[in-house]
Structure 1
Amino acid sequence: MIRVALADDQHLFRATLRVLIDSEADMEVVGEAADGHAAIEIARDAHPDVMLMDIRMRGWTVSRRPA
């Protein structure tokens, strides 16, 4: 099972991705985040195999990622 986390500030986009991922037998969504801080918490707590992330959202930008 591939564990996927979703991080995007657009609820509709996250919901659409969830529907697509949930339709796959070998994938499951283990968490959703609407900002960078929540995404970091999900990564730490849920240990996803893959995180699909918006590169521009509150609390996170590509140029200012945590070390």
Structure 2
Amino acid sequence: MAGDMSLDREALTCPTDPDQQLVILTAEPGTPCHEGLRFLRSGTAALSPVGSGPTGEQPQRVVVG
């Protein structure tokens, strides 16, 4: 849908629970990758509902924009 993207990734680990992380993906403004992220954020892309993982687990969430 949005094509291949090269993104910057930052992972913040919870100090009291190292198994939990907040992963942030960003792209340089004005680049095709940035436009791809904006497209995905718009809700136009198909999203899986919470709890729809293969074992009923919640999927990982990514904060964009």
TM-score by length of structure 2 reads 0.26
Structure with the larger RCO, 1 or 2 (CA within 8 Å, 6+ apart): 1
TM-score by length of structure 1 reads 0.25
